A and B are shown apart, each in its own frame.
Chain A
Amino acid sequence: MNETPLLTVSGLSAGYGAGRMIADVSFSLCPGEILCLVGESGCGKSTVLKSVMGTTPGLEILSGEIVLNGQDLLRLPPRERRRIACDTFGMVFQSPGAAFNPIRSYRKQFAETLKSHGKYDRETFETRVAEAFEKMGLADVPRILSCCPYEMSGGMNQRIALALALLLEQDILLADEPTSALDATIQRQVAEELRRLRDVSGMAQIIVTHNLALAQFLADRVGVMYAGRLVELGTPDQVLGDPRHPYSRALIAAIPTLRGDMPRGLAGQPPLSGPADAGCEFCERCPVRENGCTERPYALSSAGGGHWTACDRTGGGI
């Protein structure tokens, strides 16, 4: 894609208190592009999302830049940054109910949210909601609007949250594990809806997931994270179809398939201490590590065609 990026994150390091959770994270996002961040639990995927959003208390950005439409968000006063973030970023959470008050009707909550974004108009409210619902394939608008979130299934709540994101006309959707609380058939529906959201509104998306199949289904680009660093970045065909980093290969080997092979496990856990100052964080679990791995500084190198990897050692049965 040769378009000017909407969002460019470069050299981002952030953490809670003294601990660094992510380091040197750099990527860009073009309008209408879907970027999926994948990796095990505790690899810093959500921290990247929260750093971009910038509304998580206690999360400190230690260095780097987050440039949105040519403006570095980190140089803005907090109030201004929050205003821009709220206008630009929509969020969808893992727990389908988390976006709504469970015992307040969708109608009231939609109106409130639109008002707080200065986009409420009483005359056109219902028709606009109906339009958004129709675009997301939801029928029976009046009934849904008069329901409360506790009356809806998880999948339905997640789809309504996406319709709200569409209504707010934000540029970028940040989604944290949007499908992992749902069962397989509903997961597929929500995945299709995320794609539809992009197609009808051109909304760019950053989706955090540990489901590699979802990333393959949705993403224009996939970033693999390990211990707070981006270790591989490229199109789904590059990263998931022809993975270079030993960690990406190990992750893919761990997915069960309908063929029925026993998935190959990846022993151990990602380090909880976050990124190290020197050396590859994965080397303790890596089947192809060499002596130099503990000292080699982190750097992404090109594997051609927009495919970047921090390591391309092969062998070791993965």
Chain B
Amino acid sequence: MIILEGKNIGKRYRRREFSVDALSDVSFTLNEGEILGIVGESGSGKSTLLRQIAGLEIPDAGELLLDGRPLPAKRTKENYRTIQMIFQDAVGSFHPRRRISDSIRETVRNLVGAGEEPDWKTLCSLVQLPLELAERYPRDLSGGQCQRFAIARAMAVHPRILLCDEITSALDVSSQAQILRLLAQLHQEKNMSVIFVSHDLAVVRSICDRVMVMRNGKVVEEGPAARIIHAPREDYTKQLIASVLEVRDTRAG
């Protein structure tokens, strides 16, 4: 079942006489319980698209449908609660002078209810971090730990859609693997729908069901992850795949 649909979305950034079409005529669907990957180079419009979906910006053209109903330009709290976004800079996405727990509590009180208290035990076990780490400041945590708390903050308001914008790009391989496993587990246990933006094709291949390739604000190609990676149709997708550096396993030949 389609949970989110974008129809002919356009976004233009203007600056005096200069303007850029960051998105033009982008259409997509996201099914319930699906992980949709969006890949492309810097400047291809991946993050811009996520910002439109999250309601951080208003698209110039087209419409976004949640459960078949248009999302209003001015989002309600319920809209924000339903669609949660996680950013690349995990440490920077928390208030530097507040404890992690205060930041998460604020989100919950804003979006769920004034007197609400996050369910700390469930949240921390969900992201596999000890409870006491939530009492620290962002600077006292590693990038990977902060990113797991950012996921916890998003999950604390029980969203239906998670938007992930390069959430593992700033992390080293082991933290990245932990975050990917966590996301796969959330997706499995909670039937979460996820849009996962990354420039790393191998990361996208490892967790996404379907992949959309973007270039210069347009959709180049879209299809099941295995098909896109192993039998790309468009030249641009082939180029992207050819540029991936991989570790060869010489033992396996």
Contact = CB atoms under 8 A, between A and B. Distances in A.
Interface of A: 40-42, 153-154, 182-188, 191, 210-214, 216-217, 237, 240-242, 250-252, 254-267, 269
Contacts of A211: 173, 245
Interface string B135-162: 0000000111100000000000000000
B249 A241 contact: yes
A184 to B, nearest CB: 5
Interface in B58-101: none
> 3 nearest interchain CB pairs?
A241-B250, A213-B245, A254-B177
Interface stretch (B3-11, B22-30, B106-114, B195-203): B195-203
A240 B201 CA distance: 20
B246 A213 contact: yes
A173 to B, nearest CB: 19
B125 interface: no
B192 interface: no
B207 A262 contact: yes
Contacts of B173: 40, 210-212, 251, 254-255, 263
B181 A186 contact: no
Contacts, number: 125
A185 B240 contact: yes
Given A185-B41, A257-B206, A258-B201, A216 B248 contact: yes
Contacts of B244: 184, 188, 213, 258
Nearest to A257: B202
B174 A185 contact: no
A131 B41 CA distance: 30
Contact of B247 (A216, A264, A266): A216
B48 interface: no
B226 interface: yes
Contacts of A269: 142, 144-145
Interface string B183-204: 0100000000000000111110
B174 A266 contact: yes
Nearest to B171: A41
B80 to A, nearest CB: 29
A191 B181 contact: no
A210 B177 CA distance: 13
Nearest to A43: B172
A214 B144 CA distance: 21
Contacts of B201: 184, 258
B251 interface: yes
B107 to A, nearest CB: 25
A255 B246 CA distance: 9
B216 interface: no
Given A183-B199, A237-B250, A241-B251, A265 B172 contact: no
Contacts of A183: 41-42, 199
A191 B244 CA distance: 11
Contact of A262 (B144, B181, B225, B243): B181
Nearest to B252: A241
A301 B230 CA distance: 41
B145 to A, nearest CB: 8
B84 to A, nearest CB: 23
Nearest to B184: A262
A187 B169 CA distance: 13
Contact of B206 (A210, A213, A261): A261
17 contacts: A153-B42, A184-B41, A188-B245, A191-B245, A213-B244, A213-B245, A237-B250, A251-B173, A258-B205, A260-B229, A261-B206, A262-B180, A262-B181, A263-B177, A263-B206, A265-B178, A267-B178
B31 interface: no
Contacts of A259: 205
Contacts of A266: 174, 177-178
A187 B203 CA distance: 16
A214 B199 CA distance: 15
B19 interface: no
Nearest to A251: B173
Given A41-B142, A240-B248, A242-B251, A210 B200 contact: no
Contacts of A257: 202, 205-206, 246-247
Contacts of A260: 205-206, 225-226, 229
Contacts of A214: 245
A216 B184 CA distance: 28
B208 to A, nearest CB: 9
Given A183-B41, A256-B205, A188 B176 contact: no
Contact of A41 (B143, B202, B229, B247): B143
A255 B248 contact: no
A175 to B, nearest CB: 16
A265 B174 CA distance: 6
Contacts of B142: 41-42, 269
Given A183-B199, A216-B245, 6 more contacts: A41-B142, A191-B245, A212-B247, A260-B206, A260-B226, A263-B206
A122 B114 CA distance: 69
